Amino acid sequence: MIAKQSDILLCTINASYIHAAVGLRYLYANLNELQAQTDILEFTSNLRPADIVEKLLQKAPCIIGFGVYIWNTEHTSKVIALIKNIRPEIIIIIGGPEVSYEYEQQAIFQSADYLITGAADTRFARLCRQLLNRDDSPSKTLSIHSKVFQEKEPELDQIKLPYQYYSDEDIKNRVLYVEASRGCPFKCEFCLSALDKTSIPFDIDVFLNEMSKLYDRGARNFKFVDRTFNLKIQTSLKILEFFLERMDDTLFLHFEIIPDRLPDALKEIIKRFPQGSLQFEMGVQSFNPEVQQLISRKQDNSKTVANLAWLREHSNAHIHADLIFALPDEDLTSFARGFNQLYQLQPHDIQLGILKRLRGTPIIRHTEQYQMVFDTNAPYSILATNKIDFLLIQRISRFARYWELIANSGNFASSIKVLLADQAFERFLAFTDWLYESSGKTHQISMRKLYDYLYYGYSHCFNEDNAEILSSLLEDYKSSGLKGMPEFYKNMRSSKGNPLIKQ
């Protein structure tokens, strides 16, 4: 089949199909008269570079713009290199957070023709017009002799919003990313938002009008990418009221909130949302005050604890809390203490992230003093600090993976409480050390097999009566919908036992 020719292609490689690239749609929305010659093509990382290139070249483009992120930089680099080998005359424009800082030595920068750093909403269109010789107005002349165009955030009322360009398929099958504001006033040094001057809101009435149109088209899954949704409470209230008026059984909203900012007015409206409709992502990151100060993170820990406790007791919101391992000057004891404190507050998920040095972030200033060593390949994870060596990093990376499989999955709700008891971090670390030694795997472990590992691992790691873990595992297994009985239980019934169980 011969594809329709497009002068301009907007392209990115998503981590998975469910993610719809709002950045490409911003670029498309602001192309104006060039939209008729432009297509958006999204791919996923499971596609080979050659297959992606084939689909792109079928469109016979003059210009391809790539959105580059930490998860796709290597894949995108290979795609661009292939294009330049096959069709070197195609103009490649790159942009996105991964190439907005420290780009000079990157292979992807060397292969591309142009780079737009920062917000490319309107600059991309101007550059395309110039390259296609479609704008000869002297007042809009743009030099294309430079390879790099450094952009500041444009006035938000000058940007055309992208939401009408979510397709019916997007609305039906994918998460829709939306933003009521851009930027962040905080300066946490591990985050690219530390480079923002402040948070700037879109006109709330204009924004909600766009949300109304999406909702009327059938959209029910909204993920807000605002870094600080609850920064301006009146705006937060207006957005929540808007969705409450349209509440149905399928509406789902995700917000990233400041953990220590939850005034009474916000609590009152949060209480009105039914089960399954709200998810809050709360970036706790660390409970260590000295570490917080070191990385310029302003957080009232007592308010954070109180707010987490209130949300669990008085709301139906699903709470997803984040911690970062290996921040400068934090050792294992300090992190374990913070993890246990967070676990006791019972968020529904704990996302344990290993520190990454995102390009441009100020965290690099601590490298020498705290002997911080980072992987030079994406995602630039920490390899060691003066208080945490590489072997421990590996152990905690496995801990994080197993935590996702077991604790965050929801499949082991009863048995995880028995496994962790009153020392969540220490006990789960002991279990995960055993699990890795026994299985040699961190991926491709079936849920059925995990029940066996939990039973035998508990028996091996802890000198405790097996009756409670047995009862809890059987309860979870029954709730899981798996057929039959777990293997460990069959072995018990046939008296086969297991060599890991102390006789």
User: What is 216-250 written as a DSSP string?
Assistant: HTT--EEEE--TTTTSSHHHHHHHHHHHHTT--TT
At 321-378, the pLDDT tens digits run 999 999 999 999 999 999 999 999 999 999 999 999 999 999 999 999 999 999 999 9
Q: Is the dihedral of CA 293, 295, 300, 301 positive or negative?
A: negative
Which alpha helices (DSSP H) does 252-320 contain, by range?
264-270, 289-294, 301-314
Q: Cα separation of 345 and 320, whole Å?
A: 12
CATH number of this structure's domain 166-356, picked from the four choices 3.30.1110.20, 3.40.605.10, 1.10.10.10, 3.80.30.20: 3.80.30.20
How is residue 178 written in tokens?
Answer: 């939306």
Q: Which residue has the tokens 């995990």?
A: 450
Q: Which fold has domain 8-154?
A: Rossmann fold (3.40.50)
Q: How confident is the model at residue 144 (pLDDT cuts 50, 70, 90)?
A: low
Angstrom CA distances, 363 to 69, 265, 295, 322, stand at: 19, 35, 7, 18
Buried residues in 367-393 as b, exposed as e (16+ CB within 10 A) = eeebebbbeeebbbbbbbbebbeeebb
Would the pLDDT of 143 be above 70?
no
Lowest mean pLDDT among 130-134, 252-256, 294-298: 130-134
Contact 77, 110 (CB under 8 A): no
Number of helical H runs and strand E runs in the chain = 18, 16
- Count of CB atoms situated within 10 Å of the CB of 185: 15
**Which pTM was predicted?**
0.91
What type of residue is 362? Answer: P
Domain extents for the chain?
8-154, 166-356, 412-503
At 188-205, the pLDDT tens digits run 999 999 898 899 999 999
Peptide bond into 97 cis (omega under 30): no
Q: Pairing state of beta strands 199-201 and 181-183? A: antiparallel
CA 65 to centroid of chain Cα atoms: 23
Point out which residues pair with 322 in neighbouring strands: 283, 351
Q: Which residue has the tokens 């907005």?
A: 100
Would the pLDDT of 26 be above 60?
yes
pLDDT score at 4: 62
